[in-house]
Structure 1
Amino acid sequence: MMAVPFPAFYRFAWVVAGMLALLWAGAAALRQPAPLPLVPAGAVPAVTPTASGRLLGVNWVAVDSASSQDMEPLVQAHVTWIAQTPFGWQPDAARPEIRLHTGVVSRQYWGESDRGLVRTALLARQRGIRTMLKPHLWLRSGGTWPGDVNMASEAEWQAWFASYTVFMLHYARLAEENGMEALCIGTELQHASTGHETEWRTLIRQVRQVYRGPLTYAANWSDEFEQIRFWDALDYIGIQAYFPLSQQERPAKAELLKAWQEPLRRIRAVQKRYRKPVLFTEAGYKTTPDAAIQPWAWPDRKAAPAQPDETTQRLCYEALFETFWPQPWFRGIFIWKWYPGLQPDGPARRHLDFTPQHKPAGQVMATWYGK
């Protein structure tokens, strides 16, 4: 979708504001930030590393509250990591302005606020589960996903990176001051990531000045992960692993295993070039017959209700683990996605969407995570 033109005066104002923000962000990265009073001193217990060194993760869905009871199903499934996702709000894909909401505002859950993120991480850590903080951008209009973000000029790109730096440094400090064990510095920003290597290297240096844990970036499966040139500056090559594996419904596992060989070759080539371990920052499958055709697509809620297909989802999980678990350079998966407190008789739409909870796919995940 093409962006609607807007007056030159406002473009100029955004660019100037962005450049001022860039100067502020650079200075902020060099000074020692004041601690956020979110976790009492000494309340961040250590987490024992997994024997395999792999990140056995799920993408945690933010809710209005969290308790230690919500962590018990993760423990039973041998999950050792959760990814938490706060949002930055961008008016549309062509405007270089990212709004940071650290408290609870309209259209935001408590679990996406600073206090919710910190509280959830603490509850997880008490059960031996680590946290990767994974901030995303949400486009209010003029685009459907972060991959649509694209500026009209180099000056606007500089303004966008200035705004994005302020956004990301906030969460880098939050992760550092509250003991979060990993940080993802971007997700599927394919226009920004593939044409602006210098800006990303600058951002990475600034983030490392305030956050000491491992860093990754979550690249789209299509070709973004192959075009990025700053993998050497990060700790993991992160991939949103929604590779299509079939053109038909209800594929056999043999077909799925065969289909994985080409993505495996492509991933291995990038890993060999940069000599960094690979992490699937997201991977998952719907509980539908067409789960392997377009794994990234949500079930169409406007269409006639489909019958859940737990067998196809299970086979997709089996093929995923059987393909990548033997690879010595593979460091783990964050399964998309996990709803705290979901019951077996929960909403019908959950039986069609991506969660493996209370399904055979969840048993597959738990078995491989427990090895």
Structure 2
Amino acid sequence: MQFIKGFTFAPFAIRGSYKKKETYKSLDNLKERVGINFIILVPNGLQDTPQSEEICYTSNLTVSDEELEDIIAYAKKIGLRVALKPTANCKNGTWRAHINFFDEDVHCEPKWTNWFKSYTDFQLHYARIAEKTGCEMFIAGCEMVMSERREKEWRKLISDIREIYKGLVSYNTDKYQEHNVKWWDCVDIISSSGYYPLKDWEKELDRIEKVVNKFNKPFFFAEAGCMSTKGSSAVPNDWGLEGSVDLEEQANWYETMFESALKREWISGFAMWDWAGNQYSLNKAESNKGYDVYGKPAEIVIKKYYDMEM
């Protein structure tokens, strides 16, 4: 597998977002400025609460199939490989990792059975698009931590996806969860979200390496990132962290991540979080405290490593 030098591009975009000229310009900028060879697109599926059984992906809060297919075609035209990662979220703001139900079906209570039926419909819809458009990878969801113990349902879902989609199949587990997923054998590539504290990279990579060796599968970070907020390198997963702007701390986190990870031959790449479809103007980069790297020192760090032969 070619080494993944990637970014998540314009995730959870609303309908019409991928029709805008600035979105295509932003994708051009990403390729030209950072030297990527791979993007992950993230269609949005929404359920009301963590205990809702129905996932909607046809409202105006999700890009249309037509615009998704068009931007996939454009990405491939400019030489990028593409992964689709349809991801479920909760409208009430609860993080998707907390979607959860009783282990056994109970009358008059929401059920895993119903939720997985809806989740499967959601995934298979986009698996068909991935097959139709020639996407190189399909990632069957992201950070669904409480559901991962439902091994039987996940194995069935991956099997159903393979009936439709013939490319590489992965699943994006959350940080610290790599060793808890028991069904890595049924995917082609193990992937996870690499939001690890700057000082912990070596320790966490040691732990992940045991998982990779056990299942003998390729591995890549389907997400990784750090905000340019002071203190973020210690808690890079905390998107609500308050603090002053610290562009160098963000850049140092990326430098440490690359230096630690690229010593491990079993790591097959990265897809950083994230690159917006509608960029701020460059003169605002020095005041931006988010995960964005556009116009920041971290962008230069990423390009330096992506320009290397791997």
> Structure 1 length as normaliser, TM-score?
0.75
2:64 corresponds in structure 1 to 113
Q: 1:124 aligns with which of 75, 90, 93?
A: 75
2:108 corresponds in structure 1 to none
1:150 corresponds in structure 2 to 100
Q: 2:277 aligns with which of 340, 343, 352?
A: 340
1:171 corresponds in structure 2 to 126
Are 1:368 and 2:301 matched, yes or no?
Answer: no
- Offset, 1:94: 1.3
Q: SS where residue 167 of structure 2 aligns?
A: coil
1:239 corresponds in structure 2 to 192
Q: Pick the structure with greater CA Rg.
A: 1
- Contact 2:286-2:296 within 8 A present in 1 as well: no
Q: Separation in 2 of the partners of 1:65 and 1:206?
A: 31
Are 1:78 and 2:16 matched, yes or no?
Answer: no
- Contact 2:285-2:296 within 8 A present in 1 as well: no
Q: 2:136 aligns with which of 176, 181, 193?
A: 181
- Offset, 1:348: 7.5
Q: 2:253 aligns with which of 310, 313, 316?
A: 316
Letter of the 2:195 partner, please give it: Y
- Offset, 1:299: 4.3
Q: Separation in 2 of the partners of 1:210 and 1:312?
A: 44
Q: Separation in 1 of the partners of 2:18 and 2:157?
A: 32
- Offset, 1:216: 0.9
Are 1:69 and 2:25 matched, yes or no?
Answer: yes
1:97 corresponds in structure 2 to 54
- Contact 2:26-2:276 within 8 A present in 1 as well: no
2:228 corresponds in structure 1 to 287
Letter of the 1:239 partner, please give it: S
2:290 corresponds in structure 1 to 353
1:206 corresponds in structure 2 to 160
Q: SS where residue 180 of structure 1 aligns?
A: coil
Which runs of at least 4 in structure 1 moved beyond 4 Å after TM superposition? 346-349
Provide the aligned C-alpha RMSD in A.
Answer: 1.9
The C-alpha deviation readout for 1:282-306, integer Å capped at 9, x for no partner, is 0001112212121111245xx6xx4
Q: Separation in 2 of the partners of 1:96 and 1:166?
A: 12
Q: Separation in 2 of the partners of 1:327 and 1:185?
A: 25
Are 1:161 and 2:109 matched, yes or no?
Answer: no
Structure 2: tracts of 5 or more residues without a match:
106-110
- Contact 2:247-2:286 within 8 A present in 1 as well: no
> Structure 2 length as normaliser, TM-score?
0.89
Q: SS where residue 45 of structure 2 aligns?
A: strand
Are 1:190 and 2:139 matched, yes or no?
Answer: no
1:38 corresponds in structure 2 to none
- Offset, 1:260: 1.4
Q: Separation in 1 of the partners of 2:184 and 2:76?
A: 28
Structure 1: tracts of 5 or more residues without a match:
1-51, 246-255
Q: Separation in 1 of the partners of 2:297 and 2:56?
A: 40
Q: Separation in 2 of the partners of 1:340 and 1:91?
A: 25
% identical equivalent positions: 30
Q: 1:266 aligns with which of 203, 207, 212?
A: 207
Letter of the 2:282 partner, please give it: P
Q: Separation in 2 of the partners of 1:218 and 1:235?
A: 12
1:307 corresponds in structure 2 to 244
Seen in structure 2, the aligned counterparts of structure 1 residues 153 and 322 have a Cα distance that, compared at 3 Å, is closer
